[in-house]
Structure 1
Amino acid sequence: MKPLQLEQARQLLALQSQMNSIVNTDWLNAGYPFLRAVVVEVGEALDHLGWKWWKKESSDLQQVVVELIDILHFMLSHELVAAKGDLERAAEHLVSMSHPSCDAVEFDGSRWMLSRNDPRNLFELLAGLAVCRRNELPVLEACFDAFEMTWDQILVQYVSKNVLNIFRQDHGYKTGTYIKEWSGQEDNIHLVDIVATLDVASANFSTELYNALSMRYRQR
């Protein structure tokens, strides 16, 4: 996995700042616990991957990736707050942290290996670090790498989820009027289905995705 590039970091942060501003124009000063949200999303990722030894489970790897993208959203938000909204400063810091070849992270007196590790262990590490207010991009990169994802692929997934997040806000997510389950499936699953039918390299990808979501939502 190649390191995060500066232009990719700029694009991710700009989209995240835009999304957060839709939720609250003063989000930078709101004191939102973004790393707490990382902990919760890790739990959801583990549930999709499967970890319970006392029952039969099946993994939904597409939804695991969706949860990892959610985690990225919150980690980007944390970086933007730390940089006081300065996108260039946050982008440079993210790039400086990006070390996909990083072999280990020191945490709680132990050395946690990142490469060739069970993704479940990596998720635990990510949650533990977040609880301690440590935003460790190499650990998230190791999680993505475990599913053989590159930053180019991550960017496509991120843009897709960002479109869904904006769609949710436009349709009453914050006020509680948005319906998250359509035709017996959560909107995250519809998102994956729709993206698979579109040309992600198209200059109109975001617009086409938003329109397709709107059509399905009306038909629910």
Structure 2
Amino acid sequence: MNSKILLMLQLQNQLNDATNGDEWTKGLTKNDKVINWRRCIYMECAEMIDSFSWKHWKNIYQEPDWDNLQIEVVDVWHFIMSLAIENYHQEMKGGIEDIAMMISDLEALHSIENEGSEEYALDNAVMQKVEEIMSLSLSRDSLELNRLLTDFFELVSMSGLNLDTLYRLYVGKNILNQFRQDNGYKDGSYVKVWGSEEDNVVMKRLWEENPDLKPDALYKELTKAYHAFVK
């Protein structure tokens, strides 16, 4: 079993418990709001497409925003894992470890696990892969989870990421999301700009300065940085 996949699934489950309530896998939040992970996926994918100058009538020579694309890829990963956990619960297939075992056996995972991808695919190829993920999430048929995961890991590689960089970006964003929720994000009291930097930038810098940080330690560092600016 891949330890990075298992940890990411565990962190996502914890975040969903904290944000949506302990019974979110039934499809409702603690406030009885309907959860639709498929919609989350295809809406986030639409934002991904906007990382490219796809409009033939506007900004036709603009370079792709690969940094933004990678962040969107990580956001989609949050929702795909959530969908997988919900699906396994509702279909009584098993728990977090069972999902981690299934994902660890996928050939597409092995390709990003063993290869350090630092190159981007052609713009149109990436957009086509994103649209394949959208098509699967828009389908009214039974969830093709293995195919969705395979397409996603192929997108990871095409976006210049590998398993290690996906893991780092995911853990950083996950912990930041938890931190936001704990500090007034829902009621609007949270301050997103810390001094002259957005919280995403601060989080990324903390990772770069301390590459061996564990998730709990990253949360503590975010707390220190936040209270240094917001008093």
TM-score (ref. length: structure 2): 0.74
Corresponding letter in the other structure for 1:91: A
Task: Establish whether residue 60 from structure 1 lines up as the match of residue 69 from structure 2.
Answer: no
Query: Aligned with 1:42: secondary structure?
Result: helix
Deviation, 1:45, is 1.4
Which of 169, 174, 199 aligns to 2:181? It is: 169
Task: Establish whether residue 201 from structure 1 lines up as the match of residue 197 from structure 2.
Answer: no
Deviations 1:38-91 (A, max 9, x none): 111111111123322211144321121111001000000111112217111121
In structure 1, C-alpha distance between the alignment counterparts of 2:201 and 2:101, rounded to whole Å: 33
Deviation, 1:195, is 3.8
Please name the residue that 2:133 is paired with.
126
Q: Is the 8 A contact 1:163 1:209 kept in 2?
A: no
Please name the residue that 1:146 is paired with.
158
Q: Is the 8 A contact 2:51 2:65 kept in 1?
A: yes
Q: What does 1:1-220 correspond to in 2, within 5 Å? A: 6-23=2-19, 24-29=21-26, 30=28, 32-56=35-59, 57-84=62-89, 86-100=95-109, 118-132=125-139, 133-135=143-145, 136-180=148-192, 187-196=199-208, 198-203=209-214, 206-207=218-219, 209-211=221-223, 214-215=226-227, 218=230
Which structure exhibits the higher relative contact order, with contacts defined as CA atoms closer than 8 Å and separated by 6 or more residues? Answer: 1
5+ long unaligned stretches in structure 2: 29-33, 112-120
5+ long unaligned stretches in structure 1: 103-114
In structure 2, C-alpha distance between the alignment counterparts of 1:144 and 1:73, rounded to whole Å: 13
Quick one: structure 1 residues 28 and 217, their matched pair in 2 at CA, closer, same or farther if it must change by over 3 Å? farther
In structure 2, C-alpha distance between the alignment counterparts of 1:43 and 1:181, rounded to whole Å: 26
What is the percent sequence identity of the aligned residues? 24
Corresponding letter in the other structure for 1:60: D
Deviations 1:192-215 (A, max 9, x none): 45544x222234752355236525
Aligned length: 202
